[in-house]
Copies of this chain bind each other. A is one copy, B any other.
């Protein structure tokens, strides 16, 4: 699994933006369960801690996106055998590409890695509720499970707005679990937008 090749530097950088309660090395299993239970949308299952490991990969990508001046959202696609197929962060500005959201980049990379335009049985971990475009991409790629972090009442397309998975025109609906690592994701987003507001407020 790719997780094992993280450099210490990346891991340290990642931990700066993540609240101590979610740092993997310092969190006892019962703490994680507590965080999960605090969110009404999450089904707590035995062995839930593995979901945090994959969400951490997505959070690392989100933190790296913030460093590049992009909205800090990260994603990871995990195959049915729990092998990490792809990780990606937002790169809209870097790539001059309106579609370069973390989810879309991760899905494209995962499709390439298995040589198919379908990702049956795979799971997508993303730090923020996907927008309508990304929800559509998730459905088209036949991803089986979606784990997302923070809710996005302003631009989300899963639990808000277009609710892409809730129409007969959506031919594939993944199982959806929200609130995984939501606090860490919100912390990254808050810090990013606070810095942006300061930047614009400076005369």
Interface residues of A (CB under 8 A from B): 92-93, 95-101, 104, 107-108, 111-112, 115-119, 131-137, 139-142, 153-157, 160-164, 167-171
Q: Are B137 and A99 in contact (CB under 8 A)?
A: yes
23 A–B pairs (Cβ distance < 8 Å), ordered by A? A93-B117, A97-B111, A97-B112, A97-B117, A99-B104, A99-B137, A131-B169, A132-B135, A132-B164, A132-B170, A133-B136, A133-B140, A134-B136, A135-B136, A153-B169, A154-B169, A155-B171, A161-B167, A162-B162, A162-B164, A162-B167, A162-B169, A162-B170
Q: Are B133 and A117 in contact (CB under 8 A)?
A: no
Tell me which residues across on chain B come within 8 A of A161, comparing CB atoms.
167-170
A133-B133, A161-B170, A169-B154 known; A140 and B108 CB under 8 Å? no
Q: Are A169 and B132 in contact (CB under 8 A)?
A: yes
Give the Cβ gap from A130 to chain B, nearest Cβ, in Å.
9
